[in-house]
Amino acid sequence: MKSIIKKIENKERLTYEEGVRLYDLDLFTLGTLADTIRQDRWQNRSFFNINRHINPTNVCKDVCKFCAFSASRKNPNQYTMTHEEILQIVEDAQKRGVKEVHIVSAHNPVAGLEWYMDIFRKIKKTYPSIHIKALTAAEINFLSQEYGHSYEEIIEMMIENGVDSMPGGGAEIFDEEVRDFICKGKVSSDEWFEIHKLWHQSGHMSNATMLFGHVEQKHHRIDHMIRLRTLQDETGGFNTFIPLVYQRENNYLNVKNFLSSQEILKTMAISRIMLDNFPHIKAYWVTSTVNLALVSQAYGADDLDGTIERESINSAAGAKSASGMGLEEFVSLIKNSGYSPVERDSLYNELKVW
């Protein structure tokens, strides 16, 4: 282990095998190594944005075992928002200072391709200063298959209609055996990478995620990170990496042994160490809990996402995020944890130090 620690201290890139061995290190050592990298890059700053999550429909063609949000198989609780409802949400959010709308839905085969594109166009026309982050690679893959368009054509439509950046959802775990078990039929890992590469080549940025704490093993997480690191070497198009903690309620995986806080913090620290070409590591408080996200700042995370205001996907599986968080509370929590709250835009341009 001494040779691995020395490589990290010398800012040398770790191999897959070395990454797997990082889990054998104690939490304190991992935290110290990750925090040194974080402090070198961002000092005491913790980034966040004022954003609003919108989940316009839960009607879904796919049935992923880990998902508690989608409504399929004649679920009586299906919903699909009208464009008027969505625009009212955006209008109300903008009045409260929201600068980004994060729009992610289920894979609705009834709404139609134009339903998706029209709402982006309407938001951008009415609220041109609002950054639209929308459509995961899984959604793009669905729209491509459902309506007979290439990925390039869907991406061109997104850009023409006002989408500014892509979220990182749909990545889950890239190992295909795990993927086959938890989300069979959804976008494949190769397709996910192809879509993000095309998006980057169009001159736009995206995020990357990893859903962990379900049936995957530690080596699957390292493989996931290295695949992302490889594409980032090629395109430089990822803003941030977001390790998402699996939420265990109301889904079909029936995971009995939930991750410990120590395992979550270790994974956060390892992410910061392995992903040397990713500028930011996000502790997404929605899935990790607010308290653990704040602690994660000392384990490599420099971003806490944002105020969110409302969130439906993870809260359906048990996360305490349905109503988001107030701005003043969010800022106070960061300050009280010993860090400097820095409001950013969606592309990590610094807007204000609180």
Per-residue pLDDT of 212-258, as tens digits, reads 999 999 999 999 999 999 999 999 999 999 999 987 755 566 767 78
Q: What is the pLDDT of residue 183?
A: 84
pLDDT beyond 50 at 292: yes
φ and ψ at residue 206, rounded to 5 degrees: -145, 175
pLDDT beyond 50 at 174: yes
**What's the sign of the alpha-carbon dihedral 65, 101, 123, 326?**
positive
Share of the chain above pLDDT 70, in %: 89
pLDDT beyond 90 at 110: no
Share of the chain above pLDDT 90, in %: 74
Q: CA 186, CA 147: separation in Å to the nearest integer?
A: 16
Q: What is the pLDDT of residue 321?
A: 40
Q: What is the pLDDT of residue 69?
A: 53
Q: What is the pLDDT of residue 318?
A: 41
Q: What is the pLDDT of residue 336?
A: 95
What is the mean pLDDT of the segment spanning 304-328? 60
Q: What is the pLDDT of residue 58?
A: 84
Question: What angle (nearest 5°) sits at the alpha carbon of residue 297, between those of residues 259 and 25?
Answer: 55
Q: What is the pLDDT of residue 323?
A: 55
Q: What is the pLDDT of residue 78?
A: 84
Q: pLDDT tens digits for 37-93?
A: 999 999 999 999 999 999 998 887 766 655 655 666 556 678 899 999 999 999 999
Q: pLDDT tens digits for 121-168?
A: 999 999 999 999 999 999 999 999 999 999 999 999 999 999 999 999
pLDDT beyond 70 at 310: no
Q: What is the mean pLDDT of the chain?
A: 90
Q: pLDDT tens digits for 178-217?
A: 999 888 888 999 999 999 999 999 999 999 999 999 999 9
Amino acid at 64: C
Record the tokens describing residue 185, joined without a space: 């039929």
φ and ψ at residue 128, rounded to 5 degrees: -60, -20
The ranges assigned to domains in the chain are 2-349
pLDDT beyond 80 at 259: yes
For 66, 209, 322, the CA distances from 313, given in Å and listed in that order, are 11, 15, 9
Q: Which CATH number fits domain 2-349: 1.10.3720.10, 3.20.20.70, 3.30.450.20, 3.90.650.10?
A: 3.20.20.70
Q: CA 148, CA 141: separation in Å to the nearest integer?
A: 10
Q: Which residue has the higher pLDDT, 54 or 107?
A: 54
* Range list of β-strands (E), 84-190: 100-103, 131-134
Q: What pTM does this model have?
A: 0.91
